[in-house]
Amino acid sequence: MKPSTFTTFVSVADSPDLGLKRHLLSRTHFGFDLQTLEARSNMGYDACVEQILEGTRDDTLLPLPDILNENLLRRDKSPMDDEERQRRRATLRQARASLKVWWVRQMLTAPSQLREKMTLFWHNHFVSAVQKVRSPLLMARQNMLFRNEAVGNFRRLLESIVRDPAMLVYLDNISNTKNSPNENLGRELLELFTLGEGNYTEDDVKAAARALTGYSVNRTDGTFRFDVRQHDFGEKSFLGQKGNFDAEAIVRIILEQDATAVFIVRKLWREFISDTPDEEEVQRLAALFRSGDYEIRPLLKKILLSDAFKAAPNRLIKSPVELLVGLARMFDADTVLAEKIAQGCRILGQTLFDPPNVKGWPGYTAWIDTQSLLRRRQALAKAAGMLSHTEMEPEPELLETLELWLLGTDPLSEIPTTSVGAAIKAMTEDPVFELK
Amino acid sequence: MQRRDFIRLSLAGAAVLMMPTRILASQEHTASIPPILILIELEGGNDGLNTVVPYSDERYTALRPSLAIDASQVLEIDNAIGLHPALSGLHERWQEGTLAIVEGVGYPQPNRSHFRSKDIWNTASNSDEYLSDGWAGNALGTRQNPGPFADSVTMANDDTAPFAHPQMRNIVLRSAESYLNAAGMIAPVPNAEDNDALAHITAVQNVIVDSYDYLETAMRSNSAVPHAFGPGVLDQKCSSLVELLANGVYVPAFKLSHGSYDTHSNQASTHESLLSELDGALAILVQNLKALGLWQQTVIMTYSEFGRRAAENGSAGTDHGTAAVQFVLGGSVNGGLYGQRPSLSHLDENGDLVHTTDFRSMYRTVIEKWWQIPTEYLSGFETLGFL
């Protein structure tokens, strides 16, 4: 990243719809410097949306940490001595930490910020946590699945997730067998991943669990394994259909339901627009999503171009990742800060690769309680203390531009005009800065 | 056009930030002690059947071939039930007459989703009803004479949903010290109104501002926790809680969570360590309450979003179930058995226990008989005799 050595700025008065474009950037990026905003000053809004969506075709990826190439899977059951066990544990711990820092670094530098945000969105939708999965390698592979389909196709994503080793471990499907089904994955597949609560019965959960029996993981290389002996080939009755369903059939039936597209669109609404989805509009977008065979990019385009989107700036609350990665990106932070940012995200309640439970981070107002607000302000104050060369006195026009860039609207607190640094510090500590 | 600053975040430019200290208002500290509730969430769905074990029921051993706790192991309550062997501290409370065991706690048309069932428990709603206010928030947020400082304290990272209410002042903290260290730099802001997200943030910010002086003054008495807790996560939460009490910081409700009790596989060892952590922390908590003279003033109540299926699954674990047993303890609690024991021979169509006691009866009992707050919205549920 290059430092912001700019010498000119666009005045807000010269670009009347800059505020709307700022809103678009703040929802589709983890954070952006002033130049990124200024570069849009002469573009139309629709062209900005198009540019961001086309940008998602860039899949530039930082190489995964080398430590993931080490033998992180237990290949045999031979007993380990204490020293070997400790060495293994240390390697695993280090690999988990490196993976988290790797993702922060990727977020800091990803050319397509939207693709990166959607990768995080799917991580928080199809939740698995390394604390239970143990293996950072399986988590890294799952992350690759999320980023490959981040703005791709929801059907493919769903087809892959029921065969994803990290998921099969996380939701106990490796012990879901013909003679003793385990409902964990079957239930969450319906409740949290697709249909949503209220759109299926307990019998459907049991049928889904039976269809998923035998979907397991190879101990030797951590790949998907279909265990024929443990799969229940019997007839099942699922959402009104009867057949010898396996997981693929269950996924097909799930995608035939209206409820699935509605559930996903509603969740995307809460991610991109506001916490109060317009149900009529959700139904309309969901119908288009389904008839478009669950292609994600066109759906995002409709969302970003919608009147509802344009009408809702600063109605959402930044997640810790958005707050800290965003701050670093706004001020061209060194990527060496990635480690600190990963730690900061954990302290603020969002440990990457480790959501608190299968429902993921609840988001919105749940990000802010007395404890987390204090931690956020501490982090922001610390960051403001790291800003360099900001002693000059700003002219009113520059202050106005800084406010548009950092807050998008008037601050609630008094902003000092003694220096650019003091003004920026006060803006980042204003309650409005917590919004996106 | 204007020359602009060179703005960049870098480690080299890092400076230690001085936190402004607030000018402290001297504050009269009145030591009136409200009836205190400590709410302990057994997060993930605690297996009631292996917590209070129906050891003499042969259907129990049939349903739990690998998980049943042997009759010789249980800590006997009567000739039918006994506590899990890890619950020796609670067994002492039982013998002391300060432990109430409420059996068969649940609700009609049980929901087996963690999240939906937590919503139901947190908001005291019916199974098919969606409410936003928490049951305790509803009672405490509308009190006539709210006390100083705050209405509730939740330990950091634990679910605050039982306290959700627009007028509720809920403090979330890890410890008084870490809270005060950070809260000193927070300035009051005008309350935002037309933007829900911003309104939430400004409300929380102003709760911090309003709580600061009171807490800072109280903690200056610097009273230590009488009996030290262990290093475990639950222990440390209890320790922070007792530290507040030791310094005279009383609120009507404290909340902390423990878990996860979501034991789908290899339950026996996980459940044993969970119960043993719980029992150990509770034992020291009770010791402390007694030492501080607060045992009569405090009620500790457990809850969990559901119990687990009567029959074990194929992974030596249990899947999501329905009704379960809950504990209430305290110096003012009438020890004994409450509610009815669900029958193991009349399970529902899912193989789950049928509830006999509505969880809202427990809430109504606490709200009316303990906090002395009228509860109209829970009038459809009877109160229980544990208070």
At residue A100 the predicted structure's pLDDT band, cuts being 50, 70 and 90, is very high
What tokens does A387 get?
């800003």
What is the dihedral sign for C-alpha B219, B225, B231, B235?
Answer: negative
pTM of the model: 0.86
User: What is the average pLDDT across A230-256?
Assistant: 98
Q: Are B11 and A334 an interchain contact pair (Cβ–Cβ within 8 Å)?
A: yes
User: What is the average pLDDT across A257-278?
Assistant: 98
What pLDDT score does B10 carry?
Answer: 56
Q: Are B5 and A392 an interchain contact pair (Cβ–Cβ within 8 Å)?
A: yes
Boundary-marking domain end, from A291, A310, A329 = A310
**Which one of B3, B185, B198 has the shortest CB-CB distance to A377?**
B185
User: What is the average pLDDT across A220-227?
Assistant: 94
Per-residue buried b or exposed e for A211-235, using 16+ beta carbons within 10 Å of the residue's own CB:
bbbbbbbeeeebeebebeebbbeee
Nearest one of B339, B280, B267 to B309, comparing CA atoms: B267
What pLDDT score does A116 carry?
Answer: 98
Looking at per-residue confidence, does A391 or A423 come out higher? A423
Whole-number Å distance between alpha carbons of A105 and B83: 51
**Which one of A317, A333, A413 has the shortest CB-CB distance to B9?**
A333
Mean pLDDT of chain A: 92
**% chain A with pLDDT above 90:** 79
pLDDT digits (tens, 9 = 90+) for A365-381: 999 999 999 999 999 98
Is pLDDT above 50 for A3? no
- Per the listing, tokens 């009803």 go with B129
Q: Which residue of B has its CA nearest to A326?
A: B9
DSSP notation for B135-180: HHHHHHTT-SS--SS-SEEEETTS--GGG--TT--EEEES-HHHHH
What pLDDT score does A18 carry?
Answer: 93
pLDDT digits (tens, 9 = 90+) for A13-57: 677 899 999 999 999 999 999 999 999 988 999 999 999 999 999
B9: left (phi over 0), alpha (psi -120 to 50) or beta: beta
The whole domain housing A298 covers 258-310
CA atoms within 13 A on the CB side of A165: 19
What pLDDT score does A82 carry?
Answer: 84
pLDDT digits (tens, 9 = 90+) for B312-356: 998 899 999 999 999 999 999 999 999 999 999 999 999 999 999
Environment class of residue A370 by beta-carbon count within 10 Å: exposed (0-12), middle (13-18) or buried (19+)?
buried
Whole-number Å distance between alpha carbons of A303 and A290: 15
Boundary-marking domain end, from A278, A310, A342 = A310
pLDDT digits (tens, 9 = 90+) for B158-217: 999 999 998 899 999 999 999 999 999 899 999 998 999 999 999 999 999 999 999 999
Quick check: is A282 in a domain? Answer: yes
Which residues are within 8 A (CB) of A240 and not within 5 positions of it... i.e. 6 or more apart? Answer: none
**Shortest alpha-carbon distance between residue B379 and chain A (Å):** 28
User: What is the average pLDDT across B95-123?
Assistant: 96
- Per the listing, tokens 């506590």 go with B83
Amino acid at A354: D
Q: Are B183 and A374 an interchain contact pair (Cβ–Cβ within 8 Å)?
A: yes
Please report which helix (H) or strand (E) contains residue A341, including its range: helix A338-347
| Residues in chain B closer than 8 A to A181 (CB atoms) | 313-314
Query: Chains A and B: how many Cβ contacts under 8 Å?
Result: 200
What pLDDT score does A2 carry?
Answer: 36
Whole-number Å distance between alpha carbons of A407 and A428: 8
Quick check: is A165 in a domain? Answer: no
Say whether both A324 and A418 belong to one domain. Answer: yes
What pLDDT score does A388 carry?
Answer: 66
**Phi, psi (degrees; rounded to nearest 5) at A180:** -145, 80
What pLDDT score does A10 carry?
Answer: 66
At residue B75 the predicted structure's pLDDT band, cuts being 50, 70 and 90, is very high
User: Total structural domains in chain A?
Assistant: 2
ipTM of the shown complex = 0.94
Say whether both A337 and A374 belong to one domain. Answer: yes
What pLDDT score does A8 carry?
Answer: 59
Say whether both A364 and A324 belong to one domain. Answer: yes
Nearest one of B19, B115, B129 to A366, comparing CA atoms: B115
Say whether both A420 and A364 belong to one domain. Answer: yes
What pLDDT score does A384 carry?
Answer: 81
Say whether both A425 and A337 belong to one domain. Answer: yes
Q: Are A371 and B264 an interchain contact pair (Cβ–Cβ within 8 Å)?
A: no
The whole domain housing B67 covers 41-174+230-370
**Shortest alpha-carbon distance between residue A334 and chain B (Å):** 6
| Residues in chain A closer than 8 A to B19 (CB atoms) | 381
**Which one of B13, B173, B186 has the shortest CB-CB distance to A387?**
B13
**Which one of A197, A331, A386 has the shortest CB-CB distance to B113?**
A197
What pLDDT score does A421 carry?
Answer: 86
Please report which helix (H) or strand (E) contains residue A243, including its range: strand A241-243
User: Total structural domains in chain B?
Assistant: 1
Per-residue buried b or exposed e for A88-118, using 16+ beta carbons within 10 Å of the residue's own CB:
eeeebeebbbbbbbbbbbbbbbbebbbbbbb
Nearest one of A298, A293, A237 to A260, comparing CA atoms: A293
Quick check: is A418 in a domain? Answer: yes
pLDDT digits (tens, 9 = 90+) for A167-216: 999 999 998 999 989 999 999 999 999 999 999 999 999 999 999 999 99
CATH of the domain at B95: 3.40.720
| Residues in chain B closer than 8 A to A375 (CB atoms) | 182
User: What is the average pLDDT across A111-123?
Assistant: 98
**Shortest alpha-carbon distance between residue B2 and chain A (Å):** 6
What pLDDT score does B5 carry?
Answer: 47
Q: Are A431 and B15 an interchain contact pair (Cβ–Cβ within 8 Å)?
A: no
Say whether both A291 and A334 belong to one domain. Answer: no
Quick check: is A130 in a domain? Answer: no
Quick check: is A278 in a domain? Answer: yes
- Per the listing, tokens 């309104």 go with B199
User: For A290-299, A321-330, B17-26, which range has the lowest pLDDT when averaged over its residues?
Assistant: B17-26
Whole-number Å distance between alpha carbons of B295 and A145: 54
Q: Which residue of A has its CA nearest to B207?
A: A370
The packing angle between helices A258-272 and A296-305, to 10°, is 50
Say whether both A305 and A379 belong to one domain. Answer: no
**Best interface-test mutation with B: which of A10, A374, A380, A382 has the largest number of B CBs within 10 A?**
A374
Q: Which residue of A has its CA nearest to B117?
A: A197
Q: Which residue of B has its CA nearest to A175?
A: B315
User: What is the average pLDDT across B67-73?
Assistant: 96
Quick check: is A2 in a domain? Answer: no
What pLDDT score does A1 carry?
Answer: 30
Q: Are B318 and B302 in contact (CB under 8 A)?
A: no
